[in-house]
Amino acid sequence: MKMFQTNLLKKRLQHILKTCFKRKFFLWWTLLGVAIGIALGAGLYNLNCSKVVIELIGYPGELMIRALQELVLPLIMLALMNGVFSLRNTDSGTGRITRWSLLYYLLSMFLAAGLGIGLVYIIRPGRGAPLDSNGVSSCASANTTIPTTDADRSTVESLLNIGRNAIPTNIVSAAASSNFLGIITFSVVFAFTLLTLGEKGGLVIQLIEVANEAIMKLVFAIILVTPVGVASLIAKTILNACSIQLLLRSLGLYMVTVLGGLLVHTFITLPFTVFVLSRQNPVYVFRSFLPALIMAISTSSSAATMPVTMQCGEDYGCGKSIVQFVIPFGTNINRDGTALYEAIAVIFICQAHGVNLSVGNVIVIVLSATIAAIGTASIPNAALVSFVTVLQAVSLSQYISDISILFAVDWVLGMFRTAVNVWGDACACVIVDSWDKRNSSTGGPPKHDEESLSPESMAEAAEIRRSQ
């Protein structure tokens, strides 16, 4: 009887643990970690803890960051190669759609990253250098600057080094020195080369795809301990801060910068591309895809929103074949919001430490933020990993632990970031569909296929036409 009760208790306990640690509850555990970290740091702030105590408090978070850094290289390489492999079964028609989609996705992500860079330099959320790092902080000097490895180089030399880093002389040394531009170039070229080998390259392709799945599981396993790591890192950052008030003000300005950038990209940049490239009314496009955007905000998941986005695309009048290809393709590689967010985040960290960046460094940030966004895995909080990539691309690995401060508000920004990603997919679908119809045998401007529309959508389309 006692053994039966013991087994029953174990099963109930296992059921409770499995339920509590499901992905849908992960956000709440993370928020709890953020709250504990803030409470611990604020509670100990006035006690003037020694450096040893602060280091011990931040030690669990340091181990989590080191584990993420360890997996950055294989994750970026395998994710990018896996993305290239996904194109291997396309025929000539789909190949044309693929090229158009890729061109638009790259354009929109570069615009997003560039917009983020512009806003972060205009608003300057990290002014005052509120973060302490390696003995250099705003406590010692308000105008202290820390030159990075490339910051003291001339602009021309920094620009030339972009090409040199993209084509390293030794891929192993590039990996060891965190030259991710070289790693990315090699990964993409190697993947396309494998595709040209036909059946002979099939075994290697299958091995890389399996390895990619394994690495993603490892990353997710590490992210499961994020609540503990975030609590540790936030407490350490607060204890190292010269002024909590200055830190909170900078964090508030950072949120304003990111949200402002997402709003500008949503209501100005992307609608402008829709109008210029497809000659269609961006207001009507936005209204048609509004259900998908609302779901993206509520779920913070582009993958979960994808069926709704596809339905909105078909209701709008896009070709079914275009919708079924462009939307899933964009869900995997198009991340305008992520590119904008990472570009702002890196510059904010530099400003918060008083670091001045050259023009070449800024260009590297735009490129690496765009490419890292493409290689971001479709798992919760994967932006943490790609953010590490961007920091290492400009030799700022010493500031990786500052991810904790950004993560404290990332759950809010993530909802709107996802909505921007989905809106970018929707715009791509409309634009590519427009290009396809212009190049089809029937010719003429793109039209909505009203036979495929629901009665409600037909009525709404008629109302829009009357208003125009």
Instruction: Express each pLDDT in 78-99 by its tens digit.
Output: 877 876 776 665 444 556 777 8
pLDDT digits (tens, 9 = 90+) for 129-187: 676 444 333 343 333 333 334 444 455 665 676 677 778 888 888 777 767 677 877 88
Give the separation between CA 100 and CA 262, rounded to whole angstroms: 24
Domain map of the chain by residue range?
Answer: 30-41+50-467
**What is residue 260's predicted lDDT score, i.e. its pLDDT?**
93
Q: Who has greater pLDDT, 104 or 74? A: 104
pLDDT digits (tens, 9 = 90+) for 202-216: 888 889 889 888 887
Listed in order, strand segments (DSSP E) in 199-261 are none
Q: Which residues pair with 136 in a beta bridge?
A: 133
Sign of the CA dihedral with 364 first, then 365, 369, and 372 last: positive
Given a cut of 70, whether residue 464 has pLDDT beyond it is no
**What is residue 241's predicted lDDT score, i.e. its pLDDT?**
67
**Correct CATH for 30-41+50-467 of 1.20.1250, 1.20.120, 1.10.3860, 1.25.10:** 1.10.3860
pTM over 0.85: no
Among 47-51, 53-57, 136-140, 412-416, which is the least confidently predicted range?
136-140
Give the separation between CA 79 and CA 10, rounded to whole angstroms: 39
Residue 19 neighbours by CB distance under 10 Å: 10
Give the separation between CA 7 and CA 324, rounded to whole angstroms: 49
Among 21-30, 403-412, 446-455, which is the least confidently predicted range?
446-455
**What is residue 430's predicted lDDT score, i.e. its pLDDT?**
92
Mean pLDDT computed over 318-333: 80
pLDDT band at 274 (very low <50, low <70, confident <90, very high): very high
CB 219 within 8 A of CB 71: yes
User: What is the longest distance spanned by two Cα atoms in the chain?
Assistant: 80
**What is residue 71's predicted lDDT score, i.e. its pLDDT?**
77
Q: Which residues pair with 295 in a beta bridge?
A: none
**What is residue 424's predicted lDDT score, i.e. its pLDDT?**
92
**What is residue 465's predicted lDDT score, i.e. its pLDDT?**
43
**Residue whose entry in the numeric block shows the structure tokens 């389309």:** 461
Please give the mean pLDDT across all residues of the chain.
75
Among 274-283, 305-314, 345-354, 378-387, which is the least confidently predicted range?
378-387
Give the separation between CA 326 and CA 303, rounded to whole angstroms: 13
From 195, 219, 187, select the one nearest 78 (Cα to Cα): 187
For the record, the structure tokens of 129 come out as: 């250098």
Among 29-38, 124-133, 219-228, which is the least confidently predicted range?
124-133
**What is residue 83's predicted lDDT score, i.e. its pLDDT?**
66
**What is residue 226's predicted lDDT score, i.e. its pLDDT?**
75
User: What share of the chain in percent tops pLDDT 90?
Assistant: 11
Give the separation between CA 292 and CA 310, rounded to whole angstroms: 9
Among 116-125, 183-192, 255-264, 295-304, which is the least confidently predicted range?
295-304
Q: Which residues pair with 133 in a beta bridge?
A: 136
**129, 149, 229 from 232: Cα distances, Å:** 22, 29, 5
For the record, the structure tokens of 143 come out as: 């105008």
**Residue whose entry in the numeric block shows the structure tokens 């890292």:** 372
203-223 exposure pattern, b = at least 16 Cβ within 10 A, e = fewer: eebeebeeebeebbeebbebb
**What is residue 146's predicted lDDT score, i.e. its pLDDT?**
36
**What is residue 145's predicted lDDT score, i.e. its pLDDT?**
37
For the record, the structure tokens of 241 come out as: 């801060």
**What is residue 285's predicted lDDT score, i.e. its pLDDT?**
92
**What is residue 81's predicted lDDT score, i.e. its pLDDT?**
81
Given a cut of 90, whether residue 266 has pLDDT beyond it is yes
Mean pLDDT computed over 424-438: 89
Give the separation between CA 383 and CA 414, rounded to whole angstroms: 10
| DSSP secondary structure of 95-143 | HHHHHHHHHHHHHHHHHHHHHHHHHHHHH-TTTT----BTTBSTTT-TT
pLDDT band at 389 (very low <50, low <70, confident <90, very high): confident
List of long-range contacts for 246-251, beta carbons under 8 Å, 24+ apart: 246/128, 246/130, 246/138, 247/130, 247/131, 247/405, 249/128, 249/130, 250/125, 250/126, 250/127, 250/128, 250/130, 250/348, 250/352, 251/125, 251/405, 251/408, 251/409
**What is residue 265's predicted lDDT score, i.e. its pLDDT?**
94
CA angle 412, 367, 186 (to 5 degrees): 120
How far does Cα 454 stand from its chain's mean position?
Answer: 35
Give the separation between CA 190 and CA 132, rounded to whole angstroms: 41
CB 274 within 8 A of CB 431: yes
**What is residue 450's predicted lDDT score, i.e. its pLDDT?**
40
pLDDT band at 14 (very low <50, low <70, confident <90, very high): low
**What is residue 331's predicted lDDT score, i.e. its pLDDT?**
77
Give the separation between CA 416 and CA 373, rounded to whole angstroms: 16
Mean pLDDT computed over 373-385: 58
Burial (CB count <10 Å: 0-12, 13-18, 19+), residue 154:
exposed
CB 108 within 8 A of CB 273: yes
